[in-house]
Amino acid sequence: MPNNVDKVMSGLMGAAKDVKAGFKGLTGVFMHLMEEHGKVGALIKRVAKSDDPAVRADLYPKIRRELLSHEKGELKVVYPALAHLPGVSAIELTHAREASELEIALADVDSLAFDDAAWGLTFQRLADLVEKHVDHEESEFFPKAQEALGEERAKQLLAEFEAVKKQS
């Protein structure tokens, strides 16, 4: 279970992403997704800095669960909402490709014991892919999607996204 410092740092990173989202004009599901990025990003950084198998065993399952449920919600709710909108329909295809790369990287980490010498480098590859994906979403996908969908639809999608995540 994450310790109190990990929980606080994760929460602070999430709050920082909320502020950043607000400055970008993002609302609803997009603001929430950025908050989730911040929270899981803090956990990823904590694990990436440690070579302790106990830290890895404690935090990686939570990171994995969060990444998979986050992606499931995006793939089932957020990106399909863009599929038929002019100017943003291609985002869904790019996101699906990136999500597939993340799933492969997760499987690579899953295949190793926490004390395996290759675990750190394999996890770092995952961390790098997550960082690249998050940057892509936050700098390109979300602003375009927010503009195309509008504030009200972005708020509606948040409830749908949360419902899908609860099923995970």
109-124 tens-digit pLDDT: 999 999 999 999 999 9
30 touches 140 (CB < 8 A): no
Q: Where are the domains of the chain?
A: 4-167
Which is it for the CA torsion 158, 141, 78, 69, positive or negative?
negative
Q: Report the C-alpha gap between 142 and 147 in whole angstroms.
A: 8
Does pLDDT of 23 surpass 80? no
Indicate the residue type of 92.
E
Does pLDDT of 24 surpass 90? no
Does pLDDT of 56 surpass 50? yes
pTM: 0.83
Half-sphere exposure in the Cβ direction for 14 (13 Å, CA): 13
